[in-house]
A and B are shown apart, each in its own frame.
Chain A
C-alpha cells in the first residue's frame, strides 16, 4: 500500500486505463466508418 500512495503511479495508472477505454471507442468508430464506406 505504501507505493500506492505515490500519486504519479496512480495518475499514470488512470491514464493507461482511460487510454484502454479510448482504444475501444476508436476501434468501434473505425468499424462504423468501415460499414459507412462499404455502402
Chain B
C-alpha cells in the first residue's frame, strides 16, 4: 500500500527548497556586480531582476513553510530533484532577458545544460554576449559541478542529518569527511584552489597568445570553470578552437582530467596518501578506458585519413575523445566535421568514451569508472569460476581508498545504474530517430546529453523540435542526478494520486 504524502511533507520540502533558492539567488549577485563594474546596464538589470525574483521566492517558501524538522530520505531526494528544476527555471531568467535565446525553453535548455555540466547550447550570437551573462553561464557550471545543494549545505542548512540526505540525493554517495558540512567545504577547497591555479595558467597562455590581460584572465576563469566542472561552455562560439593554441589545449586537457577525479581521492592524495593514484580502481580503469577508446577513435580517423600528422591527430582526435570521456564537451573542431570528416568507427570510439564518463563523486556524468571497474572485476570473477576447479574458492578484491572484497550487492548496484544509463541513452536516440535524424548522430547527441558531455554533431540547434529539447533537458537532469532522486520524485507524484 502506498501512503499518501501529508501536508507536513510538502511544508518540509518547501522549506528546504526555499533555502536552496536563497543560495542560488545570492550567486546571481556576482554577475550583477561584474555588469556594474563593466558598465553593462542592460545585463545588470537582467541580473538584479532575476536576483529579486529568486530572493522573493526563496523568502516566501522559507517563511510560509517554516519548520524545525530534519528531512527524511524521501523528502531529501525530492528537495534535490525539485531544486534542479527550479534552478533551471530561475537560472534561465537572466539568459532569456539578454535576448540571445530565441525562447524561454531555449534559455531553460542552456540553464539545465549549465547546471548539469553538459555544455550543449542553443545561444544565438554568442560572440557578442555580455561579460556578465558569459560569467553566469560558466558560474552555473561551477555551481552545478559541485552540486546546487552543496551551496545550501555550506551556508544555509544547519542540521547534519537533513544535509546528508540532500548530499546523497545529488549523486554523491561517498562522504569524504565524517561530517557532511566539512565534506562540502572540502569540495569547495579543492575547486577554489584549482580555480586560482587554472585561471592563472590559462590567463598566462591567453596573454602569450596575444589577448589583452583582462580578457585573458576572464576567459581563463570561464574556461577553467567549464573544464574543471567538466561542463563544456566557452565564451566564444568556436569553443576552444577560438584560441588556436596547443598550450591552451594541453592545459585544458589536464584540467578536464583533474575534474574527472573523485573528490574523495583528491582528499586522500592531499592528505599524503599519494600512492592511491596508481592503486585506485577508478584511476586504473580511467587510464585503460581512455587508451582503449582512443585506439578505436584513432583507428577510425587513420582509416579515413582525416588527420595525416601525429600532432593533428592528437589536437583534433584525442582532444574530442578526452573531452567526451571526462564529460566536458570542449571542441576544437566544428560540429559538422563529425559528420563530414569523421568515420563511423571514430564516432563510435567517442560515443563509447562519452558513455563511460569519469570517477564517481566527481563533477562528471555517465556510468562512471567505479561501476565499470566493478563490472569488469565481477566478469573476471565469473570467468575464474568457470576455469578453476569446482572446489576452488574464488575471491575478487578491488582497491578504492581501501582494499575491499567484491560482493553481489556492489555488482547489482553498479549494473542497475549502468542499465539505467543505457536506457536513458536509448530514449534520446529513439526520439532523435523519430524526428528523422540518422541513427548514429541521434545516438551521439543523446549520449552527449544524458552523460552530461556536451559534444555536438550538429543536432542541437535552436531549430530542432521542441520535444527533442525537452527530452534532452530530461536526460541532462536525470543523468546528472543518477536517477534515484528522479525516481523518488516520480514515486512521490504517484503517491499523491494513488496513495491512501
Contacts and interface: CB of A to CB of B under 8 A. Distances in A.
B274 A29 contact: no
Contacts of A39: 302, 308
Nearest to A38: B302
A9 B271 contact: yes
21 contacts: A1-B182, A4-B186, A13-B270, A13-B271, A14-B197, A16-B269, A16-B277, A17-B269, A20-B257, A20-B261, A21-B254, A24-B253, A25-B250, A28-B322, A29-B310, A32-B317, A32-B318, A35-B310, A35-B313, A36-B313, A39-B308
Contact of A31 (B272, B277, B298, B311): B298
Interface string A1-39: 101100001101110111011111101110111011011
A29 B145 CA distance: 29
Contacts of A12: 272, 274
Interface residues of B, number: 39
Interface SS of chain A = helix
B6 interface: no
Contacts of B310: 29, 32-33, 35-36
B182 A9 contact: no
Interface of A: 1, 3-4, 9-10, 12-14, 16-18, 20-25, 27-29, 31-33, 35-36, 38-39
B408 to A, nearest CB: 31
A28 B318 contact: yes
Interface of B: 177, 182, 186, 193-194, 197, 250, 253-254, 257-258, 261, 266-267, 269-272, 274, 277, 283, 287, 290-291, 294-295, 298-299, 302, 308-311, 313-314, 317-318, 321-322
Contacts of B271: 3-4, 9, 13
A14 to B, nearest CB: 7
Nearest to B185: A1
Given A1-B177, A3-B271, A25 B313 contact: no
Contacts of B309: 36
